Amino acid sequence: MSESFILTENELKLLTGRSQKNLQIKWLKDNKFNFYVNSIGKPIILRSSLNQKVIIEHKEEPNFGALNGKET
């Protein structure tokens, strides 16, 4: 079976720690996740956008001070 391109309901609950859609949406907004809301008010997260967020948040900023002999 292939993996869905959107998070499953269980994965969304695991990510947000919430089962109510309004609380899931609040958590997603508070944590700056990109998501859509479907016609019945459920948040939908594309798996690719979740992966993108994880990659962006785990990139380290370069230590530009080290170029000038300063440690930060």
pLDDT tens figures, 5-31: 999 999 999 999 999 999 999 999 999
Which secondary-structure segment (H or E) carries 44? Answer: strand 43-44
Q: Of 20 and 61, which is predicted with more confidence?
A: 20
- Residue 56 binned pLDDT confidence (cut-offs 50, 70, 90): low
Distance CA(24)–CA(37), nearest Å, equals 11
pLDDT top residue among 7 and 49: 7
Residue 70 is predicted with a pLDDT of: 64
Torsion of CA 32, 23, 6, 8, to 10 degrees: 140
